Chain A
Amino acid sequence: MGLARRNLLRDKGRLALSIAGVALATALVLLLSGFVDGLDRQLTSYLDQSPGTLVVSQAGIKNMLVATSVLPQGTAERVRGTDGVASAVPLLSSFVILEFHDAKQAGYLVGFDPLQGGGPRVLSSGRQLARDDEAIIDRTLAQRHDLALGDTFDLMGQRFTIVGLSEGTGSWMTGYVFVRKAEAETLFKAPGMTSFLLVTPTDGLSVDRVRADLAALAGVTVTPKAEVAANDVAIFGRFILPAVRLMTAIAFLVGTLIVGLVLYSATVERQREYGVLKAIGARARTLYGVTLTQAAIITFAGAAVGLALALGAAQLVMVLRPQFQVTFLPLTVAVRLASSALMALLAVLLPARIIASLAPADVFRRS
């Protein structure tokens, strides 16, 4: 341990740079996974805060965000008339493209009936909808496009006034826009159309039983709300994760190379000393231990700094760009930090080879 520490501290500049390199690679890996976990939470935040435990959708639809669902006419009445249904909140929803200050922005439009629910649960400012030409938009969406209460925007040929800003209803990809359901029907030119029903079973009744009864209705699929949320996360993950995995793999390789470069340089420079140690009886295992300890010091210090860096950078990003949410889940962080340890083990391979091939006699011949 002492030898390893002295080896590293001999050149403090190099040690600092190597720790910084590992820290940056670790921070990038942590930020990437935190970003994906944060997006997962953002994607499901509306469903999480909305009423009901079951989602009734058009037959075959088990997603919400990327699905266009059109329930057969009269479904709401039939659902409400089913035993065990305490309430069924109708929604008409779809992705729309918003144009704010000449920038295109995907929005998820939710048409809801303020008397029945399904709107934003928390308003950071403003009020609920009172008229058809009013809208509530996500606070981060508004902040991103310099919009405030009282401002207007055009959507699909209609003008809306922003009367409320909602919390927990946005992500970097999209932000929620809430309007009255009647107005959404006008926008989509679909009078009486309903996409989803959020169903709350009567207290004390089995959710599975109510689900089975509802599933018997014609033209619908009934899915637990949590499953719909999980399906949305899975389908978005399919096109985000490959890119994230590629970048994580590159960051991991870079981190390994940084540790490898430092250890290799340190070992080559001290090759003679290692030879002397071998000549006076030090076993190769002991010398591997020295190299491994150096790797561990750099990696753990780099990982610790990287963790702090990732936490700080995440806070900074979320303050400057509130549409991004970076969530550090303990298990994910543990796995990522464990991968840093793997980085150290891989980086040790090269210097270990040098030590293994070192012949003690060479040292004396060179002397």
Chain B
Amino acid sequence: MFALARNNLFRSRMKALMAIGGVALAMMLVLSLDAILAGLENRIGAFVERAGADVWVAQSGVRNMHMASSAVPRGLVDQVRQVPGVAEATPIRYLTNVVRSGDQDYIATVIGLPVGATMGLPNALVPGGTMPKSGQVVIDGAVGKAGANVGDGVRILGSTFEISGRSEGLASSLSSLAFIPLSDLDRMLGNDRVVSYVLVRAAPGVSAESLSAAIETRVNGVTASTRTQFAGEERRVVRDMSTEIAVIMNLAGLLIGFAVMALSIYTATASRLPEYGVLKAVGASTRRLAGVVVTQAALTVVVGLVLGLIAAYATALIAPHLDPLFDLEITFASVVKVSLVSFAVAALAAIAPIIQIAGLDPAVVFRRRIA
């Protein structure tokens, strides 16, 4: 059965190439979309996870950073420091804004760091190696990848900052990061009354969970989250907002995959209908012939899926070099999902040819040959 299915599929290499190519592209469509969302979800929590804080203290009711607004009165920073179990506390201020580099605008999270900050720092400074001084900025993400170099100027909130270093691995495709001194950010915002978050490191032996509970009990008007909770909430912003769009696009990709698969199997079966008639005449059961069609569909899917995966991985490798905002991550869960759905689609695509074979009268084949 397998040999017959394989021969049917590869009898015309060109047809097989087009059928498998179509399936591969449709699978790549779904995988790429998943990869874009997964890449975003994964990277969006990177700064939170690598900031070095065990607990993030925010304005009451605020549980994440991306697209959120948080204002903690500066007077509360010392109150946080005095909570038993707090080893260190670093206040940071942040806002989302457009950073202009050359003639390009980038969305960026601008982070104001106080002098002597020990948490929330840029990661693996390349090549700066120090905290930005007044008038300087350390960048991470698309702004840097797009060609802004150390020593170049970028515009933030109407002021020009000189790039003093580059950080890596903290930004997401949605937003770059720009680290500047807190005093510069205060000056540009016209006040130094509030910070956005207080990053807290727990003393040895103190758990993040108990410390966050203690901070919420002793300091009014704040919400304290452990690093894991805070990063999880960051990712949830992407997940909750993208669920519906992902479902619609996935459906579109799978429908296209279905059309290609149905067409290729139908075409292959129709062109071999006389042979199927002969097989029926010499005693092959409809069930067995249906098995050949299903195997052929499955074979198309398997090869198409493998090629689709290779193409998706290649896209994930190449795309960031073409556009720094692209960040694709192909997940195991996505591959499993696409594989399972593909086989379901293949089974559906085999229905029409099976009906054709079931209705085939073996005698017709001989009548046609005699005629």
CB distance from B57 to the nearest CB of A (A): 13
* Contacting residue for B60 out of A157, A221, A231, CB 8 A: A157
Q: Within 8 Å of chain B (Cβ to Cβ): is A58?
A: yes
Flag whether B56 is at the interface (Cβ < 8 A): no
**CB-defined contacts of B253 to chain A, threshold 8 Å:** 28, 247
B272 to chain A, nearest CB (A): 11
CB < 8 Å neighbour of A188 from B69, B237, B352: B69
Residues of A within 8 A of B255 (CB): 24
The listed residue (B26, B67, B106, B156) touching A95 by CB distance below 8 A is B67
A257 within 8 A of B: yes
B361 at the A interface (CB under 8 A): no
Count B-side interface residues using an 8 Å CB cutoff.
79
CB of B55 within 8 A of chain A? no
Query: For B66, B100, B158, which residue has the most chain A Cβ atoms within 10 angstroms?
Result: B158
Kindly identify, within residues 62 to 113 of chain A, every residue whose CB is under 8 Å from any CB belonging to chain B: 62-63, 66-68, 70, 72-73, 94-97, 99, 103-106, 109
Residues from 222 to 281 in B contacting A, C-beta threshold 8 Å:
223, 233, 236-237, 240-241, 244-245, 248-249, 252-253, 255-256, 259-260, 262-264, 266-267, 270-271
B179 part of interface (Cβ distance < 8 Å): no
Contact A268 B12, beta carbon cutoff 8 Å: yes
Is B158's CB under 8 angstroms from A59's CB?
Answer: yes
The stretch among A10-18, A196-204, A338-346 that forms the contact with chain B is A10-18
User: Does A269 belong to the interface (CB within 8 Å)?
Assistant: yes
Contact A105 B241, CB 8 Å, known A61-B98, A261-B263? yes
> A14 contacts which of B14, B106, B240, B266 (Cβ < 8 Å)?
B266
Q: Please state if B105 and A14 are interface contacts (CB–CB under 8 Å).
A: no
Known: A189-B73, A247-B29. A97 touches B237 (CB 8 A): yes
Cβ 8 A contact of A317, one of B67, B173, B191, B248: B248
Q: Min CB distance, B94 to chain A, in Å? A: 9
- The one of B18, B68, B249, B323 in contact with A264, judged by C-beta atoms closer than 8 angstroms, is B18
> Among A48-56, A233-241, A287-295, which stretch is in contact with chain B?
A233-241
- In whole angstroms, what is the CA distance A178 to B128 when docked? 43
* Residues of the A chain whose Cβ atoms lie less than 8 Å from the Cβ of B97: 61, 66-68
A158-B356 Cα distance, complex, nearest whole Å = 66
Q: A68-B97, A155-B61, A251-B256 are in contact. Are A104 and B240 (CB under 8 A)?
A: yes
B62 touches A172 (CB 8 A): no
Does any Cβ of B come within 8 Å of A21's Cβ?
yes
Q: Which residue of A lies closest to B322 (CB)?
A: A242
Interfacial residues of chain B within 350-366, with CB under 8 A of chain A in the complex = 352, 356
Check A350 for interface membership: any CB of B closer than 8 A.
yes
- Smallest CB separation, A205 vs chain B (Å): 27
Q: Determine whether the beta carbon of A269 is less than 8 Å from that of B105.
A: no
Q: Which of chain A's residues 217-233 have a Cβ closer than 8 Å to chain B?
A: 219, 221, 231
Nearest-Cβ distance from residue A174 to partner chain B, whole angstroms: 8
Contact B158 A172, beta carbon cutoff 8 Å:
no
User: Is A8 close to B, CB under 8 A?
Assistant: no
Q: Are B270 and A11 in contact (CB under 8 A)?
A: yes
Asked if B164 is an interface residue, CB under 8 A from chain A, the answer is: no
Chain A CB within 8 A of B208 CB: no
For the complex, is A212 an interface residue (Cβ under 8 Å from B)? no
Contact B326 A350 (CB under 8 A): no
The reply on B157 being an interface residue by CB < 8 A is: yes
Interface string of B69-108 (1 = CB under 8 A from A): 1110100000000000000000000011110100001110
Known: A95-B69, A254-B26. A261 touches B325 (CB 8 A): no
Q: Which residues of A contact B262 (CB under 8 A)?
A: 17
Chain B minimum-CB-distance residue to A73: B190
Q: Which one, B62, B248, B267, B323, contacts A261 given CB within 8 A? A: B267
A residues 116-145 touching B (CB-CB < 8 Å): none
Q: Shortest Cβ distance from A288 into chain B, in angstroms?
A: 18
Query: CB of B64 within 8 A of chain A?
Result: yes
Question: Can you list, as one digit per residue, whether each of B22-46 has a CB less than 8 Å from chain A (1) or not (0)?
Answer: 1001101100110010000000000
A96 touches B15 (CB 8 A): no
Q: How far is the CB of B82 from chain A (nearest CB, A)?
A: 21
Q: In chain A between 1 and 51, which residues have their CB closer than 8 angstroms to a CB of chain B?
A: 11, 13-14, 17-18, 20-21, 24-25, 27-28, 31
Residue pair A254, B69 in contact (C-beta under 8 Å): no
A316-328 CB mask vs B (1 if < 8 Å, else 0) is 0100010110000
Q: Roughly how many angstroms separate A317 CA and B248 CA in the complex, as a whole number?
A: 9
B296 at the interface (CB under 8 A from A): no
Given A60-B158, A157-B59, A258–B267 Cβ distance below 8 Å?
Answer: no
On whether the beta carbons of B157 and A59 are closer than 8 Å, the reply is yes
Interchain CB contact under 8 A, A239 and B69: no
| CB-CB under 8 A for A61 and B267, given A157-B59, A239-B107, A254-B260 | no
On A, residues with C-beta under 8 Å from B are: 11, 13-14, 17-18, 20-21, 24-25, 27-28, 31, 58-63, 66-68, 70, 72-73, 94-97, 99, 103-106, 109, 154-158, 172-173, 187-190, 219, 221, 231, 234-235, 238-239, 242-243, 246-247, 250-251, 253-254, 257-258, 260-262, 264-265, 268-269, 317, 321, 323-324, 350
Task: Give 5 A-B contacts (CB < 8 Å), ordered by A residue.
Answer: A24-B252, A59-B158, A70-B189, A104-B237, A264-B14
| 7 A-B pairs closest in CB distance | A60-B158, A157-B60, A59-B158, A21-B259, A68-B95, A189-B71, A97-B68
